[in-house]
Structure 1
Amino acid sequence: MQASEGDTEIGVSIDSAQEETAAGLVSLPDDLDEDFDESLPNGENLIAAAVALAATDSRDGLSQAQMVQRYWRFAPDEELVDLTPEQLLTAARSHRELAAVRKPGELKLRLTLVPDQHHSVVELVTDDMPFLVSSVTGALSARNLDVQLLVHPLMVIRRHAETGELEEVCADVEPDDEIPGDLVESWMRVEIDPVRDPQEQEQVQEDLRRVLEDVRRAVNDWPAMRSRALSLADEIAHEELPVPDRDINDSVELLKWLADDHFTFLGYREYELKHEGEHELIQAIPGTGLGILQGDQETPRMLRSMTPEAHRKALEKRLLIITKANSRSTVHRNAYLDYIGFKTFDSNGDVIGEKRFLGLFSSSAYRTSVRDLPVVKRKVASVLDRSGLSPRSHSGKDLLEILETYPRDELFQITTDDLYQAATGVLRMAGRRQLRVFLRKDTFGRFISCLIYLPRDRFTTAHRLAMQEILLRELNGIGVDYTTRVSESNLARVHFIVRTDPANPPNEIDVDLLAEQLGDATRNWDDDFRLVLERKLGDEQAKRLAARYTEALPETYKDGHLPYEAVQDLAKLELLEEPGQLEMHLYRRRAGGTGITGVKSHDGAEGDIVRFKVYRHGLPMVLSAVLPVLHSLGVKVTDERPYEIKRGDSTIYLYDFGLQLPQGARDLTEVRAHVENAFAAAWRGEAEVDGFNELVLRAGLTWRQAVVLRAYAKYLRQAGTVFSQESMESTFTAYPQIAALMVALFETRFDPRLVLADAERNSHAKELVSAIGRQLDSVVSLDQDRILRNYLTLIQATLRTSFFQKAIDSRPKSYVAIKLDPQAIPDLPQPRPRYEIFVYS
């Protein structure tokens, strides 16, 4: 097969394909430029292999190869994944069999479940018409059937004139090159989610038949509907009508504009208003239906069955009606149909009927400037004039931009007064971070238009769904549609159409309350963070801290913390100035809520559990070094969440630990500061990491007070006691009250800060010794009793100590010296010195 200069062959040379099929290889013809010798993309390779396979048919290999090439040539590579050349050939042959016999105007349709049951296949053959692909995919989407593969070749066909039998597939002929006798048919193959239920299969096929019949009717009657629009424009222009001249001018201009490819005409019908007794009826005039309204309406409708708004509107002496129909389009776009009606009047000026067009505004209608749209341009001019703004001023240009980007469907339906209120309301927002709602009730009482402007960064799918839920609840909605607009502006716009039940219309709507509910539902974490800062600290400090921390706090932190908690963390973060500096926060987290009225709870709030946060400036902490310190305090670590806060001046490392406190721990408010200080001291190496630290939580001791008991434990070990330090630690954790009394006795005897006379000091010490004695009576274990009595003896045998002395930096010294009287310690081995000074460091 030869190709003329400037043309390209169908994909492979038929001769070479036949030679190389057996080897599974397909090469390009030799006479092509060497630049094309590189490997074909996967999709083209696959199709080329299928073409070569078809060419091996000894009967009509060339014809089949050409058909396979045309059938698959526009299939996307990504949709051909996992397909084989044999499957491509089989699919094309199957479609040809479906098209074997077909008369003009007939639809051939087949829905099959493939043997592996992983997907179903829709195959159809029909006359080529506009809107086929979009209408078919729309019908499938309406049933929640996802399209996995779609091919839509236009085939030039020759058939027997009487029987419709397929005589030839002219796969090498483009549709634009057809000659008399040729038919251009649309072959469509759609692979969708599996449809296994036979009843559902029949319903899907019925939906497709109905949709394609609507497409056929609309396409066939489109010239007649367009012609009817133009003739109606002439009729209105020359009739004497009991309506304002602006209505007549708007209607004539609108009809001509619609006919100029700005409207997809889908249906037309004429109606008359009749009186039967006391009842008013609206009846379709037989024979006037076109497109999707071709069939005659058999049953008239009583006006009183309509909503009160629709009843009034039907009898209102206004010529033009522009609104949305109750039904969705099955043709082209799955959207509610645009309804454009023109009333007819008798000689007395009363309404006696209507001429109604149904369809969809075309894409060009949405691109046209509002200053050129019939009906709309008059409203826009009125709003601009009423605003008093110069078109050359900044505000005037902003107002015009608001009108240019206003939802077009709304512009056709809204009144001038409502448009002015909405447009100037948006203008007054001036980019402010706030949410505004503009509501408009449909004049027929079937839906409520809700136009919502909100900060762009607050528009998310989750927030849209939250707004939908509120609108459906507050407006008694039974369905909702939406469109969005997000541009370079600071504001995003969401337009909801909430369908309402005429039998259960919403009560009086409090727009301010509705806006507040929507605002609460769409505020993000950052907004709430700023709000809490403002309420706690005022505008100036809030602005500074928000700028410093909003971006610095990682998203993982925001997911797990309420804004109120973040503000508490800021109090600690702001204290960190030097590398290595530590701050801590021990607290009991409340079960949800923020504690601030009007600030919503965010996901991540937990139950009433204890959390311990460690903040460190500049240097990270190793978990293996932190956990022993926490465990020494007697707590169990249930979880750990690290965060890096990348502040402008440095990085702050925040470690958030979940803690389980030991049984019998003191109230958190009592020991919070003690625990935080004990952790810091142990981390800095000022205190040992051992079981005495648990007394901070159990006995309410400070880390320094725990040092007293630890120092005596070291002395006892040096003196040769049989008890280990762990035994002493466990004894005091079992009797924390005795531990507290022991420390109190030590401080009473030696703390210089206690302003007491010697007699008074001795008296208090005797009282404490007596109290300890009473507590010792309840000790069950003999070993524990001996340990505690040894401690009491040591404290009483202590003569002096350096424990309360401070270093130059006013911090406690790193060592403790204790002067003891060995003669007063019976368990010490002989010989005993007169005095002994023990130093613990």
Structure 2
Amino acid sequence: LFIRPDKFARFVTCLVYVPRDRYDSELRKKIGNVLEKDLNGKITNWQSQLGELAFARIHFSIRILQKQSLSYDVKAIENNLSEATLTWRDSLQKTLFKFKGEEKGLQLFEKYGLSFSKGYQEKFTAQKAVLDINEIESAFSTSGLKASLDYADGEERSKLKFKIYSVEGPVSLSNILPVLENMNMRVLSELPFLVTLPSNKKAWIHDFELETRERDEVDLEHIRENFLTGFNRIWQNEVENDGFNRLIVRANFTWRECQLIRAYAKYLRQLQVTFSQAYMEEVLANHPLICRMLIQLYTFQFCPDCKEERDSARNEILKRIFSHLENVMNLDEDRILRKFINMVMSTLRTNYYQLENDLPKSYLSFKINCKEIDEMPLPRPLYEIFVYSPRVEAIHLRGGKVARGGIRWSDRREDFRTEVLGLMKAQTVKNAVIVPVGSKGGFVLKQLPTPEDREALKQEVIFCYKTMICGLLDLTDNIVDKDIVSPPNLIKRDDDDPYLVVAADKG
């Protein structure tokens, strides 16, 4: 850069030399913008010259806008020009070196320097690319799918940027849209980008712009982790893809808290309540604060680590819940919310807080005091245990503390409890000489293999049967050396209950 002002400091002449192969009109505009800003002037004329040399020369005439004496720092302007005229690839290299160190940065630059398309470079800065590289590297290391969530560009906090990184092929929109919509999101736009590495490995970036159904502002610091974890669980079929996942955004639920509410809703449907699952999903999403308090009520009753006095804490949260219910104007919504409260209060035991290999169990089971349930079809058992997972739903009904009966594989997914209840009544008559009451259990498969694959069907039935038995044993006491031993992390709201007799039944 060479600068020469006229003797009256009204105009400045600038000569700028740049590599010839880098020169284009876009570069010239960037240089002109820097000169106008740093010299506080306006370009009145420019002229470029490309000869046989390796450099292109650009001549700018700039009228100075300020009336005071002209002052400038050539070195500072040159630095600003260097920064402004970096190519996207140069910026990527510089950013990688800054955040990854020279050695690791060089490795990543050699891998990704030429991998991003022109469309991607126009859409995203090098800083954003480094974040995407981190996610792509993580996806390659796990051979899975990764995701990120952030605010969209601009000051709006209601618009979000959601990115999916896939190394196993592009993600089908018909698969992804229902997941996001069930998580209370509206998809405004989607842009796909292909990243091709020198090794010919490929990664796909899907860039979504989202907003909530209510177009509310979103506090990402609170929901980001729950949203991303929940999305991954849903995508891996570890969580059902339904409207209860709206609570992740609406009430800042974890995926397991959604699982708990979902399990109770599934059980209510087996009790033949008149409300559809879709309506229950809508009502709960419309009352996130009450849902949040329901989880607190559950925690006070069953969390082994709860430090507060359980009865007083439970009574206090119940007062708050019923106080908020007074503001619910719709009668059906009030009835639905009260049914969930009734379910939590009627629960005697749960395996929700039990761990397997230091991780939450993939299934959920809870024991119900049937006498406390509102509007339960007759005859009422004494206890029943409901087992829920994305692959199986199961129930075990007992007419008394000492009762016997088998387990049946049912194909009546919508009302298998009705079938099991009828069998329990028959079992009561059959076992009348042995024990005065009967019991019965049943389960349904929710992810049936193709009928042609009989071996896969057999293995799925065995897996679901084992899941049901594990769910029952999680809530059943044991007798060791004549002492009652309860399962770990189990809070009991009933007496000791070590009696459980089950056997594989017909079907």
TM (normalized to structure 1)?
Answer: 0.42
- Specify which of 612, 626, 630 is matched with residue 162 of structure 2: 612
- State the Cα distance separating 1:827 from its structure 2 match: 0.9
What is the 5 A alignment of 1:130-279? none
1:499–1:755 Cα change, 3 Å: closer
- Specify which of 311, 314, 326 is matched with residue 762 of structure 1: 311
SS of equivalent residue, structure 2 residue 355: coil
2:46 aligned partner: 480
What is the 5 A alignment of 1:512-527? 512-527=75-90
- State the Cα distance separating 1:666 from its structure 2 match: 5.2
2:55 aligned partner: 493
What is the 5 A alignment of 1:496-575? 496-498=58-60, 507=70, 510-575=73-138
Aligned-partner Cα distance in 2 for 1:706–1:584: 20
Aligned-partner Cα distance in 1 for 2:327–2:71: 73
CA deviation digits over 1:648-679, x for unaligned, max 9? Answer: 56322211110012335652210111111111
Paired residues of 1:477 and 1:498 also in contact (CA < 8 A): yes
Aligned-partner Cα distance in 2 for 1:482–1:591: 36
1:685–1:452 Cα change, 3 Å: same
What is the 5 A alignment of 1:311-710? 437-438=1-2, 448=13, 450-454=15-19, 458-468=22-32, 474=39, 478-485=44-51, 492-498=54-60, 507=70, 510-578=73-141, 580-591=143-154, 609-648=159-198, 650-663=201-214, 667-710=219-262
1:106 aligned partner: none
- State the Cα distance separating 1:799 from its structure 2 match: 1.2
1:816 corresponds to 2:378 = no
1:749–1:648 Cα change, 3 Å: farther
Query: What RMSD over aligned residues (CA atoms) do the two structures have, in Å?
Result: 3.2
Paired residues of 1:640 and 1:658 also in contact (CA < 8 A): yes
1:791 corresponds to 2:343 = no
CA deviation digits over 1:701-733, x for unaligned, max 9? Answer: 011101111111111110010011111111111
1:512–1:796 Cα change, 3 Å: same
SS of equivalent residue, structure 1 residue 584: strand
Aligned-partner Cα distance in 2 for 1:501–1:582: 55
- State the Cα distance separating 1:554 from its structure 2 match: 2.1
CA deviation digits over 1:252-299, x for unaligned, max 9? Answer: xxxxxxxxxxxxxxxxxxxxxxxxxxxxxxxxxxxxxxxxxxxxxxxx
- State the Cα distance separating 1:586 from its structure 2 match: 1.0
SS of equivalent residue, structure 1 residue 688: coil
- State the Cα distance separating 1:528 from its structure 2 match: 2.3
- State the Cα distance separating 1:756 from its structure 2 match: 4.0
1:764–1:441 Cα change, 3 Å: closer
Aligned-partner Cα distance in 1 for 2:262–2:52: 66
1:616–1:671 Cα change, 3 Å: same
Paired residues of 2:151 and 2:157 also in contact (CA < 8 A): no
1:780–1:485 Cα change, 3 Å: farther
1:484–1:739 Cα change, 3 Å: same
Paired residues of 1:817 and 1:837 also in contact (CA < 8 A): yes
2:378 aligned partner: 830
Paired residues of 2:299 and 2:306 also in contact (CA < 8 A): no
1:208 aligned partner: none
Aligned-partner Cα distance in 1 for 2:288–2:303: 21
Aligned-partner Cα distance in 2 for 1:608–1:585: 16
SS of equivalent residue, structure 1 residue 575: helix
- State the Cα distance separating 1:448 from its structure 2 match: 4.4
1:627–1:773 Cα change, 3 Å: same
1:518–1:730 Cα change, 3 Å: same
Aligned-partner Cα distance in 2 for 1:583–1:440: 54
Work out the number of aligned pairs and report it. 381
Structure 1: segments with no counterpart, 5+ residues: 1-436, 593-605
Amino acid at match of 1:789: R
Amino acid at match of 1:510: D
Ranges of 4+ aligned residues in structure 1 off by more than 6 Å: 440-443
- State the Cα distance separating 1:739 from its structure 2 match: 0.7
- Specify which of 324, 327, 330 is matched with residue 781 of structure 1: 330
Paired residues of 1:466 and 1:521 also in contact (CA < 8 A): yes
Paired residues of 2:158 and 2:211 also in contact (CA < 8 A): no
Which range moves more in the overlay, 634-643 or 558-567? 558-567
SS of equivalent residue, structure 1 residue 612: strand
1:471–1:774 Cα change, 3 Å: closer
1:648–1:811 Cα change, 3 Å: farther
1:719 corresponds to 2:307 = no
Amino acid at match of 1:548: K
% identical aligned pairs: 31
- State the Cα distance separating 1:817 from its structure 2 match: 1.5
Paired residues of 2:158 and 2:217 also in contact (CA < 8 A): no
- State the Cα distance separating 1:697 from its structure 2 match: 0.5
1:449–1:742 Cα change, 3 Å: closer
1:807–1:582 Cα change, 3 Å: farther
SS of equivalent residue, structure 2 residue 140: coil
TM (normalized to structure 2)?
Answer: 0.68
Aligned-partner Cα distance in 2 for 1:559–1:668: 26
Paired residues of 2:13 and 2:61 also in contact (CA < 8 A): yes
Amino acid at match of 2:320: A
1:645–1:823 Cα change, 3 Å: same
Amino acid at match of 1:675: F
- State the Cα distance separating 1:818 from its structure 2 match: 1.5
Paired residues of 1:479 and 1:499 also in contact (CA < 8 A): yes
Paired residues of 1:666 and 1:700 also in contact (CA < 8 A): no
Aligned-partner Cα distance in 2 for 1:734–1:717: 20
Aligned-partner Cα distance in 2 for 1:563–1:608: 25
SS of equivalent residue, structure 1 residue 577: helix
Paired residues of 1:580 and 1:619 also in contact (CA < 8 A): no
Paired residues of 1:615 and 1:653 also in contact (CA < 8 A): yes
2:284 aligned partner: 732
CA deviation digits over 1:621-660, x for unaligned, max 9? Answer: 1110000000001110000011122235632221111001
1:786–1:457 Cα change, 3 Å: farther
Aligned-partner Cα distance in 2 for 1:756–1:608: 37
CA deviation digits over 1:484-532, x for unaligned, max 9? Answer: 2587xxxx51213345789x9x946632233234323322222222333
- State the Cα distance separating 1:620 from its structure 2 match: 2.3
Paired residues of 1:695 and 1:733 also in contact (CA < 8 A): yes
Aligned-partner Cα distance in 2 for 1:621–1:477: 49
What is the 5 A alignment of 1:274-293? none
1:617–1:486 Cα change, 3 Å: farther
